[in-house]
């Protein structure tokens, strides 16, 4: 498996990249220890400053989104109260003028309302953003995990068994890829929602969430399946898999012990690219008006509202937009760093 | 070549049929009853029965499906007139012929898609090539950095910003809108420029990064190095040898991206309140209008399939090693 030339040179002097060579020099007096590919990846990743900062930012987003109730407790607001219409607030502390536009500067930023308020209703933007991020991020996390698992299973089956199975799985994948995705999302959200709820009744929010999950899942697994299939296809012919086969390992064991560990890195890289794009798709659904609806706080819905108010109150858009740009930027940079850490050869 | 095109077209017809079937059965045979969906809340049973009768929904599902599919090939007769060959039925909601509605709205979407593609290919790929040519320079760093930031923007965020800056607060431009090009080319151009540029910006950034990476890879190829070693100028090698090779991955991605470009056009339409295919899909979904939704879906799928076939042909043209088979 390892070529003789490589085997001869495999002493401590062989380093995977120049940076590692430097550290192993320092470590020399200590005992040499083997490192797993995961540890090597982690070491490379830790040295990538952009990657570390971006990972920090992304984790920060997930944490504050998870702590949304805590954050709004700090600001003393909540995303559902109509501060501009509720008499208890309007009389003591008016925040909207006669036209329903926020008083004060920059969309009504004040000590009470940190990011300003929504025109017309007077809901608190900070609370809406926090809760909206919670909806979007955790929804997207669920969808992405589901997509990944489905894609990996289908890709593994196609790639490992090959032949006719692979052919038909390939055709089905092509078929799903031919769907006009965004149009399909828009057209089927109401239909899928109607699968669960009688249209004559109000749709509960979590049914909407389930409907979004199903629609995105149905048209989202193909990329992953293709990636895993092509990786497995090349792995299948490798010597260690042949060796496992010859020694009588069951297909399940081969898939689990020989193939799966080798597909982990492309899967992880794909995951970091897929998650932000899922977040954007969910935001797109809400933006188009078929995802989450009033009054569920959702990131995408803030943009729909922002586009509506853009003429009178452009400041409303600022905080949700800036938050999204920073988040997506960091996630994309993180994706690049993860890829570089797994595969140092793919340097830019 | 001809054989390839014929086979791909046949495949496209099968795919279209299947997409139509899936859309149809999800809509009709699913547990969601169209009539009550269309009727909404607080609807009397007799009213529902009337709707079902009027729309032919009480016919067997297979008959309904056959009517729809045969209508596309042969045309259909409705009580209020005949619907010629590519007949996608009659909108439940407005009673208009779906095909006519789509043809009426499609130019907007086409302008966005084609205009956007031309814009981002020129600026995106151009910027990528230049930054690869002058790799490591300030220009390269600027292009790479700004493309990273720009690609994180979304149409629905950048659009309102552009509107605020260019239209609402300064009044430099009019509110975007679609004027048919045959009517007034100048107003068509002015009216669509903001949406097209906003949509292109998002895609430009991705293509800058990709073109740069692909070009750098090409420049490291052996044939390029050999050409340089033979004494050809850097410029000549760059434009005659590496350029062509670096287009291959870009064309591949372009073919895959056509679906997301259509999606981008949908978002752009919604952001700028333009009346295109995307708006039509939203209307169809909101009003639970089956023929309209079917029509838009199949038209969108048709568009994507045709572009995919064209991409494959372009691919073979750029890279002679690719044999169409």
Convert the pLDDT of each residue in B273-296 to its tens digit.
888 888 888 888 777 777 888 888
What are the CA-CA distances from residue A20 to residues A13, B68, B204, B285 (Å)? 11, 65, 37, 56
| pLDDT for position A147 | 92
Strand-strand pairing, B76-78 and B81-83? antiparallel
What are the CA-CA distances from residue A224 to residues A215, A268, A333, B258 (Å)? 16, 11, 20, 19
Q: How far is A155 from chain B (nearest CA, A)?
A: 19
Q: Using CB atoms within 10 A of its CB, is residue B121 exposed (0-12), middle (13-18) or buried (19+)?
A: middle
- DSSP designation for A11: S
Residue A40, token pair as written in the block: 């090597």
The answer to whether residues B181 and B62 belong to one domain is no
| pLDDT for position B40 | 63
| Average pLDDT of the residues in A30-55 | 81
| Average pLDDT of the residues in A296-319 | 84
Q: Using CB atoms within 10 A of its CB, is residue B272 exposed (0-12), middle (13-18) or buried (19+)?
A: buried
Q: How many alpha carbons lie under 13 Å from residue B151 in its C-beta half-sphere?
A: 23
Q: How far is A193 from chain B (nearest CA, A)?
A: 9
Among B41, B60, B87, give the residue marking a domain's end.
B87
Q: Residue B259's pLDDT band (boundaries 50, 70, 90)?
A: confident
- DSSP designation for B78: E
Q: How far is A280 from chain B (nearest CA, A)?
A: 8
| B98 located within any domain | no
> What is the domain-level CATH number for residue B319?
1.10.3720.10
The answer to whether residues B237 and B116 belong to one domain is yes
Q: How far apart are CA A330 and CA A50, in angstroms?
A: 9
pLDDT of A66 over the 80 cut: yes
Residue A325, token pair as written in the block: 């740009």
What are the CA-CA distances from residue A48 to residues A22, A51, A334 (Å)? 16, 5, 10
| pLDDT for position A3 | 42
Global pTM reads 0.82
In sequence order, the 6+-apart residues with CB closer than 8 A to the CB of A180 are B259, B262, B263, B297, B300, B301, B303, B304
Query: CA dihedral in degrees (A160, A162, A165, A171; nearest 10)?
Result: 110
Percentage with pLDDT > 70 across chain A: 86
| pLDDT for position A11 | 43
Per-residue b or e along A310-327, where b marks 16 or more CB atoms closer than 10 Å to that residue's CB: beebbbbbbbbbebbbbb
| A167 located within any domain | yes
- Cβ-Cβ contacts under 8 Å, A50 against chain B: none
Question: Which residue, among A183, A195, A212, A273, would best test binding to B if mutated, counting the most B CBs under 10 Å from its CB?
Answer: A183
- Would the CB atoms of A288 and B282 count as touching at under 8 Å? yes
pLDDT of B22 over the 80 cut: yes
Q: Is residue B81 within a helix (H) or strand (E), and if so which, with residue range?
A: strand B81-83
Q: Coil, helix or strand for B289? A: coil
The answer to whether residues B196 and B167 belong to one domain is yes
Q: Is residue B152 within a helix (H) or strand (E), and if so which, with residue range?
A: none
pLDDT of A121 over the 80 cut: no
- Would the CB atoms of A194 and B32 count as touching at under 8 Å? yes
The whole-chain average pLDDT of chain A stands at 80
| Average pLDDT of the residues in A191-204 | 68
Percentage with pLDDT > 90 across chain B: 0
Q: Is residue B175 within a helix (H) or strand (E), and if so which, with residue range?
A: none
| Average pLDDT of the residues in A181-207 | 74
| Average pLDDT of the residues in A10-28 | 47
Q: Are B265 and B277 in contact (CB under 8 A)?
A: yes
End-to-end CA distance of chain A: 30
| pLDDT for position A29 | 56
| B95 located within any domain | no
pLDDT of B195 over the 70 cut: yes
Q: Which of B18, B213, B262 sits opposite A175 (nearest CB)?
A: B18
- Would the CB atoms of B270 and A195 count as touching at under 8 Å? no
| A63 located within any domain | no
| pLDDT for position A154 | 92
Query: Averaging pLDDT over each range in A102-111, B49-58, B160-169, which range is the top one?
Result: B160-169
Strands (E), A27-155: none
| pLDDT for position A230 | 87
Residue B79, token pair as written in the block: 């009580």
In sequence order, the 6+-apart residues with CB closer than 8 A to the CB of A88 are none
**Backbone φ and ψ of B83, nearest 5°:** -115, 115
Q: Which of B27, B36, B300 sits opposite A199 (nearest CB)?
A: B36
Q: Residue A60's pLDDT band (boundaries 50, 70, 90)?
A: very high
| A159 located within any domain | yes
| Average pLDDT of the residues in B150-169 | 84
User: Which is more confidently placed, A127 or A15?
Assistant: A127
The number of folded domains in chain B is 2
Length of chain A measured in residues: 348
Q: Which of A175, A187, A199 sits opposite B37 (nearest CB)?
A: A199
Q: Which of B159, B288, B305 sits opposite A178 (nearest CB)?
A: B305
The answer to whether residues B257 and B111 belong to one domain is yes
Q: Residue A14's pLDDT band (boundaries 50, 70, 90)?
A: very low
The answer to whether residues B319 and B288 belong to one domain is yes
| pLDDT for position A346 | 54
Q: How far apart are CA A247 and CA A267, in angstroms?
A: 28
Q: How far apart are CA B239 and CA B247, in angstroms?
A: 11
Q: How far apart are CA B198 and CA A331, in angstroms?
A: 22
- Would the CB atoms of A182 and B152 count as touching at under 8 Å? no
What are the CA-CA distances from residue A329 to residues A111, A115, B213 (Å)? 29, 21, 19
Q: Coil, helix or strand for A86? A: coil
Q: Coil, helix or strand for B95? A: coil
The answer to whether residues B169 and B313 belong to one domain is yes
- Cβ-Cβ contacts under 8 Å, A220 against chain B: none
Q: Residue A6's pLDDT band (boundaries 50, 70, 90)?
A: very low
| B209 located within any domain | yes
| pLDDT for position B36 | 66
Q: A278 is in which domain, residue-wise?
A: 134-311
Among B33, B53, B87, give the residue marking a domain's end.
B87
Q: Residue A12's pLDDT band (boundaries 50, 70, 90)?
A: very low
> What is the domain-level CATH number for residue A284?
1.10.3720.10
Question: Which residue, among A53, A172, A173, A187, would best test binding to B if mutated, counting the most B CBs under 10 Å from its CB?
Answer: A187
Q: How far apart are CA A179 and CA A193, in angstroms?
A: 20
Q: Residue A220's pLDDT band (boundaries 50, 70, 90)?
A: confident
Q: B138 is in which domain, residue-wise?
A: 103-324
Q: Which of A175, A200, A329 sits opposite B15 (nearest CB)?
A: A175
- Cβ-Cβ contacts under 8 Å, A174 against chain B: 15
Q: Are B157 and A300 in contact (CB under 8 A)?
A: no
The number of folded domains in chain A is 1
Residue B46, token pair as written in the block: 């007799």
The predicted complex's ipTM stands at 0.80
User: Which is more confidently placed, A98 or A281?
Assistant: A281
pLDDT of A119 over the 90 cut: no
Q: How far apart are CA B251 and CA B124, in angstroms?
A: 13
- Cβ-Cβ contacts under 8 Å, A291 against chain B: none
Q: Are A190 and B286 in contact (CB under 8 A)?
A: yes
| Average pLDDT of the residues in B246-273 | 82
DSSP assignments along B68-91, one per residue: HHHHHHH-EEETTEEE-SS---B-
User: Which long-range contacts does A14-20 make (Cβ < 8 Å, 24+ apart)?
Assistant: A16/A40, A16/A344, A17/A44, A17/A344, A19/A44, A19/A47, A20/A44
Q: How far apart are CA A231 and CA B11, in angstroms?
A: 27
Q: Which of B36, B281, B303 sits opposite A187 (nearest CB)?
A: B281
């Amino acid at each position: 498996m390892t070529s003789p030339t490589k085997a001869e040179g495999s002493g401590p002097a062989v380093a995977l990249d120049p940076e590692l060579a430097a550290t192993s020099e320092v470590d020399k007096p200590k005992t040499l220890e083997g490192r797993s590919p995961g540890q090597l990846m982690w070491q490379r990743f830790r040295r990538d400053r952009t990657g570390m900062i971006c990972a920090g930012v992304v984790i920060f987003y997930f944490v504050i989104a998870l702590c949304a109730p805590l954050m709004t407790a700090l600001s003393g607001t909540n995303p559902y109260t109509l501060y501009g219409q509720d008499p208890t607030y309007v009389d003591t502390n008016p925040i909207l003028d006669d036209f329903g536009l926020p008083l004060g500067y920059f969309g009504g930023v004040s000590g009470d309302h940190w990011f300003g308020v929504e025109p017309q209703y007077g809901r608190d933007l900070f609370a809406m953003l926090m809760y909206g991020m919670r909806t979007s991020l955790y929804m997207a996390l669920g969808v992405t995990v589901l997509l990944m698992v489905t894609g990996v299973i289908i890709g593994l089956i196609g790639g490992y068994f090959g032949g006719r199975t692979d052919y038909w799985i390939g055709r089905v994948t092509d078929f799903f890829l031919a769907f006009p995705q965004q149009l399909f999302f828009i057209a089927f959200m109401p239909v899928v929602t109607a699968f669960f709820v009688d249209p004559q009744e109000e749709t509960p929010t979590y049914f909407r969430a389930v409907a979004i999950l199903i629609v995105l899942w149905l048209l989202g697994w193909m990329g992953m399946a293709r990636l895993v299939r092509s990786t497995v296809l090349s792995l299948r012919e490798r010597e260690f898999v042949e060796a496992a086969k010859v020694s009588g390992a069951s297909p399940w064991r081969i898939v689990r012990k020989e193939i799966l560990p080798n597909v982990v890195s492309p899967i992880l890289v794909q995951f970091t690219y897929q998650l932000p794009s899922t977040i954007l798709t969910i935001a797109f659904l809400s933006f188009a008006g078929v995802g989450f609806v009033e009054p569920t706080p959702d990131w995408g819905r803030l943009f729909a509202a922002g586009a509506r108010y853009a003429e009178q109150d452009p400041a409303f858009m600022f905080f949700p937009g800036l938050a999204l740009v920073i988040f997506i930027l960091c996630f994309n940079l993180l994706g690049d760093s993860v890829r570089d850490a797994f595969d140092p050869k793919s340097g830019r | 070549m001809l054989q390839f095109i014929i086979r791909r077209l046949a495949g496209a017809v099968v795919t279209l049929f299947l997409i139509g079937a899936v859309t149809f059965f999800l809509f009709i045979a699913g547990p969601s009853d169209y009539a009550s969906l269309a009727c909404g809340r607080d609807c009397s049973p007799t009213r529902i029965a009337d709707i079902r009768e009027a729309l032919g929904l009480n016919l067997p599902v297979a008959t309904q499906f056959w009517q729809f599919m045969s209508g596309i090939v042969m045309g259909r007769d409705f009580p209020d007139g005949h619907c010629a060959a590519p007949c996608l039925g009659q909108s439940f909601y407005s009673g208009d012929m779906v095909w006519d509605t789509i043809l009426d709205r499609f130019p907007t979407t086409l302008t966005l898609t084609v205009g956007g593609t031309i814009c981002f290919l020129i600026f995106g790929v151009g910027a990528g090539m230049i930054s690869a040519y002058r790799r490591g320079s300030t220009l390269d760093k600027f292009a790479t950095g700004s493309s990273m930031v720009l690609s994180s923007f979304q149409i629905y965020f950048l659009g309102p910003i552009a509107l605020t800056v260019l239209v609402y607060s300064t009044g430099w431009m009019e509110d975007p809108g679609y004027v048919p090009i045959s009517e007034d080319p100048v107003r068509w151009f002015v009216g669509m420029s903001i949406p097209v540029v906003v949509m292109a910006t998002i895609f430009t950034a991705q293509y800058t990064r990709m073109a740069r990476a692909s070009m750098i890879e090409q420049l490291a190829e052996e044939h390029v190095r050999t050409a340089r070693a033979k004494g050809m100028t850097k410029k000549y090698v760059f434009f005659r040898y590496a350029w062509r090779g670096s287009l291959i991955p870009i064309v591949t991605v372009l073919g895959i991206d056509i679906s997301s470009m259509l999606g981008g056009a949908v978002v752009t339409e919604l952001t700028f309140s333009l009346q295109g295919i995307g708006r039509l899909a939203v209307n169809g979904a909101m009003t639970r209008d089956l023929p309209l939704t079917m029509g838009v879906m199949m038209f969108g799928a048709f568009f994507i399939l045709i572009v995919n076939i064209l991409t494959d042909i372009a691919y073979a043209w750029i890279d002679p090693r690719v044999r169409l088979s």
